[in-house]
């Protein structure tokens, strides 16, 4: 594939959001051909640059999330800066923002203002709680979404506290939701000849949608599901099990045929016709017993021994990987899931390749996250046509 080709080639995205959900959405579009301009405050840039693990002062997560983006600095606290953002939006298909609703209105960056004279613009507004309602203007981060969505309530052991994830789960789910929403809005615009529109995404509702079963259960049965550890009350066996050599193995019996294969694999074929285990709902009622059977067999075998048996029996089982094991897995290695990308700051960095994979227009990683303001001259001098004198003036004023 030639550089610049991709299913989204020809689209321009202004990523004027910070931290995770909005920038992730722009990253994924950039992997598939969109021209992404990352707008950052002149002092410090997106906080994601300083987020998490660093090497020699370089943020590793920024290097990945900033892939394929052009970085410009722009101080939106100045009216001149907001004017430049409006100009950029006038030349773009999509703009991503995560300012509070009141700030958008006060600065004239709400959708009616940004789309004035450019009705085809699609705007993604990512907030903690969503527009409207008493909490719409409160600051929100993924942690709050993970708490309020019901995720933390369901995660952890029955006698332990609610458990938060140690990764950007709510932001990631919101970013994925925003990405497919943008695709639908662009399809509506380009295929049906419609205008662009505003897309309102928050950090609670996308994750809550994946946890809807607890709401359905409460609505219809009047019960509130609680924490069950690594078990799940829709299938059995389903857990992580400790092996003889101190490793962990995960298993899922979600499909009845898989559950029966697992029983046969551990030497208990008679249980496949036992009324307690032969049918899915009965297995759930006897989940503790079937769990104990699996745990007892697995702790008498090493991980390699157990996986050999389960793979030969076509049982859904897998080792629990850490990062070192993940990048060494032969399946992922064969698919080149973690290519090493050259980088001026780090020499090179192993990052995850774009997903999903397209047969005709595969995603790409052209470069990792750029330096702050690295593309100011290209964007302000080239795209917007500001002459050198005007650019010097804006720099002197702290606008860019």
Longest dimension (CA), the chain: 84
What's the pLDDT tens digit per position in 48-62?
999 999 999 999 999
**Res 288 pLDDT > 90:** no
Residues 46, 171, 200, 291: which is the catalytic one?
171
No. of helices (H) and no. of strands (E), the chain:
18, 13
Could you tell me which residue, 270 or 275, shows the higher pLDDT?
A: 270
Q: Are strands 69-73 and 94-97 parallel, antiparallel or unpaired?
A: unpaired
**CATH topology for the 12-209+335-396 domain:** Rossmann fold (3.40.50)
Residue scoring higher pLDDT (192 or 288): 192
Q: In the predicted model, what is the mean pLDDT of the chain?
A: 95
Tokens of 189: 């615009």
Q: Is 195 a known active-site residue?
A: no
- pLDDT band of residue 238 (cuts 50, 70, 90) is confident
Average pLDDT over residues 80-102: 97
**Neighbour tally for 46: CB within 10 Å:** 26
- Domain 238-328 listed as CATH 3.30.1540.10: yes
For residue 3, is pLDDT > 50? no
What's 232's DSSP letter?
B
In the chain, where the domains are located? 12-209+335-396, 238-328
- Of 112-116, 182-186, 276-280, least confident by mean pLDDT is 276-280
Residue 232, beta-bridge partner list: 235
- Range in 185-199, 231-245, 353-367 the model is least confident about: 231-245
Least confident of 1-15, 164-178, 192-206, 212-226: 1-15
Please determine, for residue 4, whether its predicted confidence score (pLDDT) is greater than 80.
no
C-beta atoms surrounding 116 within 10 Å: 13
pLDDT in tens, 316-339: 999 999 999 999 999 999 999 999
Q: Would you say residue 1 has pLDDT above 80?
A: no
């Amino acid at each position: 594939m030639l550089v610049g080709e991709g299913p989204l080639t020809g689209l321009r995205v202004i990523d004027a959001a910070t931290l995770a959900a909005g920038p992730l959405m722009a990253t994924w579009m950039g992997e598939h051909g969109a021209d992404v301009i990352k707008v950052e405050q002149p002092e410090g840039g997106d906080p994601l640059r300083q987020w998490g693990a660093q090497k020699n002062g370089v943020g590793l997560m920024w290097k990945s999330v900033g892939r394929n983006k052009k970085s410009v600095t722009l101080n939106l606290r100045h009216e001149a800066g907001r004017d430049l953002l409006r100009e950029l939006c006038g030349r773009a298909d999509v703009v991503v923002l995560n300012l509070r609703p009141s700030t958008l209105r006060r600065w004239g960056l709400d959708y009616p203002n940004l789309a004035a004279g450019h009705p085809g613009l699609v705007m993604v507004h990512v907030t903690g709680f969503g527009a409207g309602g008493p909490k719409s203007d409160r600051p929100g981060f993924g942690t709050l979404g993970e708490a309020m969505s019901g995720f933390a309530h369901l995660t952890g052991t029955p006698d332990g506290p609610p458990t938060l994830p140690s990764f950007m789960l709510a932001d990631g789910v919101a970013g994925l939701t925003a990405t497919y929403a943008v695709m639908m809005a662009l399809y509506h615009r380009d295929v049906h000849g419609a205008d662009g529109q505003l897309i309102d995404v928050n950090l609670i509702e996308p994750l809550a949608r994946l946890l809807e079963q607890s709401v359905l259960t409460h609505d219809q049965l009047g019960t509130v599901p609680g924490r069950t550890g690594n078990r799940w009350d829709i299938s059995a066996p389903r857990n992580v099990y400790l092996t003889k050599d101190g490793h962990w193995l995960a298993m899922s019996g979600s499909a009845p045929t898989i559950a029966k294969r697992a029983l046969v694999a551990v030497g208990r074929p008679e249980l496949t016709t036992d009324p307690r285990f032969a049918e899915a709902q009965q297995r759930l009622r006897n989940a503790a017993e079937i769990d104990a059977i699996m745990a007892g067999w697995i702790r008498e075998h090493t991980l390699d021994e157990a996986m050999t048996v389960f793979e030969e029996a076509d049982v859904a089982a897998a080792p629990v990987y850490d990062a070192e094991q993940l990048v060494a897995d032969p399946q992922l290695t064969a698919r080149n899931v973690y290519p090493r990308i050259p980088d001026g700051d780090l020499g090179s960095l192993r990052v995850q390749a774009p997903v999903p994979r397209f047969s005709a227009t595969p995603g790409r990683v052209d470069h990792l996250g750029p330096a702050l303001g690295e593309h100011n001259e290209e964007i302000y001098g080239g795209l917007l046509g500001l002459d050198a004198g005007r650019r010097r003036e804006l720099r002197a004023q702290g606008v860019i």
